[in-house]
Amino acid sequence: MAFVTTCLVFGFLLLGLLGGETMASSNCNFPAIYNFGDSNSDTGGRSASFDALPLPFGETFFGKPSGRFCDGRLVIDFIAEQLGLPYLSAYLDSIGTSFRHGANFAFGGSSIRVGGYSPFHLSIQISQFRQLKARTTDLYGQRQGKARTPSSKWNLPKPEDFSKALYTFDIGQNDLAYGFQHTTEDQVRESIPDMLDQLSDAIQTLYEEGARVFWIHNTGPLGCLPYSFIYDQSKPGNLDEGGCVKPENDVAQEFNRQLKDRVTQFRLRLPHAAFTYVDVYSVKYELVSNATKQGTYGPFGL
Question: CA 277 to CA 214: how far, in whole Å?
Answer: 9
User: pTM higher than 0.75 for the full model?
Assistant: yes
**Angle formed at CA 246 by CA 9 and CA 109, multiple of 5 degrees:** 60
pLDDT digits (tens, 9 = 90+) for 27-57: 678 999 999 999 999 998 888 788 777 788 8
- The SS3 call for residue 35 is strand
pLDDT per residue as tens digits for the range 140-190: 887 665 555 555 457 899 999 999 999 999 999 999 999 999 999 999 999
The span from the CA of 167 to the CA of 108, in Å, is 18
Domain 2-294 has CATH 3.40.50: yes
Length of the chain as a residue count: 302
Question: Any idea what DSSP says for residue 253?
Answer: H
**pLDDT value of position 297:** 66
Cα 52 to chain centroid, rounded: 20
